[in-house]
Amino acid sequence: MGRRTPLYDQHTAAGARTVDFGGWDMPVDYGSQIEEHHAVRRDAGMFDVSHMCAVDLRGNGARALLLRLLANDVGRLTAPGKALYSCMLRPDGGVIDDLIACYLDEKWFRVVVNAGTADKDLAWIREHAKQIGVAVVARRDLAMIAVQGPQARARTGPLLPAACRQAASALGIFFGAPCDEWFVSRTGYTGEDGYEIALPAEEAPAFWQALQSAGVRPCGLGARDTLRLEAGMNLYGSDMDETVSPLESGLAWTVVLEGNRDFVGKEALVAQKAAGVARKLTGLLLLERGVLRSHQKVLAGAAGEGEITSGTFSPTLERSIGLARLPAAAAGQVEVDIRGRRLPARIVKPPFVRNGRALIEL
């Protein structure tokens, strides 16, 4: 048996099938993954993301700590509540984790890290925090619920505590706001608008029930995966890990190499860029019937070979899509080895879907 979130009983009561995810017993679906997926694209769905770990960084050096630890530049966070997506790197440029960091004030940043990497992340952050004198507080006392979809904010707003309602409705995209013991941010992992809400664990079951009564559909990790893949978002452990750099993972846009700021891994990335990045992470659209799956081999002609890192059937496009790590020179059409058959696929630029609309040509 794995660890259970404060919402575990809600999941089993709703008929969830559970799987192990990063050491946690998590719902994979509540009956139909595809219907849950469509609920998020067309209306509103919610995910228990309490397995992820919110970490508060408190003290005068909080910004300096993140300037050093993150490949993206928290110096750009000047408006209170503004959040930023970044990788945290090893000295050799390998990705320790990807996370979201939110600037609250000069003595308080909050980062949210992945479940499966939380322990090593905390150890790494603490090691650097010690030198700077920043307190690192893992907020395992909080539950987290992501409400996503075109109707997500409208359904959620009235159910928030009075102290949060005004702040939540005023939030710009990729901003967060603390309100009493709650924390509401306009972020997500689906390519739809919505909120991610951290709240005291003991209040989570009642809030989940209220959302469900308001017509927000419970969705499992299965739908979460098809949604994030359509949205062109990487999954740590599948699309990148400690053996690859963000430059080989479609995440160059999250790396700030310019300027004097020295962050862990910068030297390695500068060297990699100077030498020429040999591989790239790109989107693939399968041109025939079948389903792309991770670890399938991709043949890119004279450019060489690569591998699918994430693949699925896209419920929105009704086609199979994936992410693949390919030689940098790969272009146009490739072939994917699916159980011994070579099927044609086209290289496309993610995202595949955003805000309910297809962004690639089928």
Partner 1 sequence: MSQIPADLRYTKSHEWVRTLPDGSVEIGITDHAQHSLGDMVFVEVPEAGRKLAAGDACAVVESVKAASDVYSPVAGEVIAGNAELATRPELINQDPYGQGWIMRLKPAAAGAGGLLDATAYAAEVAAAG
- Letter for the amino acid at 125? I
Q: Return the number of the residue (158 or 340) whose C-beta is nearest partner 1.
A: 340
Q: Return the number of the residue (149 or 290) whose C-beta is nearest partner 1.
A: 290
Interacting residue with partner 1 among 117, 310, 312, 316 (CB under 8 A)? 312
| CA angle (137, 143, 149) in 5-degree steps | 125
CB of 45 to partner 1, least distance (A): 15
CB of 227 to partner 1, least distance (A): 12
CB of 9 to partner 1, least distance (A): 20
Sign of the torsion angle spanned by Cα atoms 122, 105, 74, 171:
positive
Does residue 47 interact with partner 1 by CB under 8 A? no
Interacting residue with partner 1 among 293, 297, 346, 354 (CB under 8 A)? 293
Does residue 316 interact with partner 1 by CB under 8 A? no
Q: Return the number of the residue (220 or 265) whose C-beta is nearest partner 1.
A: 220
Does residue 289 interact with partner 1 by CB under 8 A? yes
Does residue 287 interact with partner 1 by CB under 8 A? no
Q: Give yes or no for a contact between 248 and 281, defined as CB atoms under 8 angstroms apart.
A: yes
Taking CB under 8 A as the binding criterion, the range among 40-48, 166-174, 255-263, 289-297 that sits at the site for partner 1 is 289-297
Does residue 32 interact with partner 1 by CB under 8 A? yes
- Letter for the amino acid at 271? A
Does residue 339 interact with partner 1 by CB under 8 A? yes
Interacting residue with partner 1 among 67, 287, 291, 359 (CB under 8 A)? 291
Q: Give yes or no for a contact between 44 and 216, defined as CB atoms under 8 angstroms apart.
A: yes
Taking CB under 8 A as the binding criterion, the range among 95-103, 124-132, 187-195, 290-298 that sits at the site for partner 1 is 290-298
CB of 29 to partner 1, least distance (A): 6
Q: Give yes or no for a contact between 29 and 110, defined as CB atoms under 8 angstroms apart.
A: no
Q: Return the number of the residue (151 or 320) whose C-beta is nearest partner 1.
A: 320
- Interaction residues for partner 1, span 207-266 (CB under 8 A): 222, 226
Q: Return the number of the residue (28 or 129) whose C-beta is nearest partner 1.
A: 28
Does residue 313 interact with partner 1 by CB under 8 A? yes
Question: Where does this chain bind partner 1 (CB under 8 A)?
Answer: 28-29, 32-34, 222, 226, 289-291, 293, 312-313, 315, 320, 339
